[in-house]
Structure 1
Amino acid sequence: MPLGLTLGFFKHFVEIHGGRKAFQGLTTGAVCTKFLLPYTASTKLSLVEHVGRQPDGHLYAKPATWFVSHAWSYLYLDVVDALDDFFQENGLDDSVAVWFCTFCNNQHEIEDAIHSFEH
């Protein structure tokens, strides 16, 4: 089963990067550029792999039991809020992990591939 990140981490990611105010109006793509890529720059890993290597990583990086499909143009906070609503409606807690491409694919490799097409 592939690794995912818990809903608790989605919320934690917001808090460690300035809280909801810092994310207001940002698309998932913008969050990737503004927060995710700098956060994982030291390892050049996917966010889930990067988090998994942290001392508390086992709390957040777990086998994914849900798959989330989204568009890069979606507002990140809307995605988090929709997941939170879904989890509450289905009796799931913040420790359940989801596979979310932005967090589970290596965005450094994807960024390099995109730039190679631009030249």
Structure 2
Amino acid sequence: MPRPKGSKNKAKTPVVIIDYVAELEKKISEKNTLEADITALEADVDGLKVQLKEKKTALKALDKEIAALERKKSRQDAETLRKAQKEEIDKAIQQLLDDGMSMEQILEKLSCGNISNQK
């Protein structure tokens, strides 16, 4: 028979009696706490998703309003520019009439585009 290895005088570890019922209750309590935390976080995430959707909807509505206002502003600017050009043309025609030019000559100059060279 082979001899056992190691010292026969080795210190023996005492047998520890574990209270499995207490350990099980502790782990179940931890599990319940984690599940409650997860449920609360999921509710927070759902609430944040709703807020995000509302904010995106509001942003989209504002973008539409801004685009409409920009279109109205560009139309108004174009109208103002057109009126300014019309007034400039009226002043040039009046100046030509005051200089003694006939309406036929003015129309002829307008059709050629030489009105700005005449002053």
Q: Same fold (TM over 0.5)?
A: no
- What TM-score does the superposition give when structure 2 sets the normalisation length? 0.21
User: 1 or 2 for the larger relative contact order (CA 8 Å, sep ≥6)?
Assistant: 1
- What TM-score does the superposition give when structure 1 sets the normalisation length? 0.21
